[in-house]
Amino acid sequence: MAQCEVCGNEYYLAFQVVTAGVTHTFDCFECAIHKLAPICDHCNCKILGHGVEAQGTFFCCAHCAHASGSHQIVDNAEHAQLS
DSSP for 37-63 reads --B-TTT--B--S--EEETTEEESSHH
- Rounded CA-CA distance 65/60 in Å is 8
72 pLDDT band, cuts 50/70/90, is: confident
Q: What is the pTM of this model?
A: 0.76
- Rounded CA-CA distance 73/49 in Å is 16
Tens digit of pLDDT for each residue in 13-63? 999 999 999 999 999 999 999 999 999 999 999 999 989 998 889 999 999
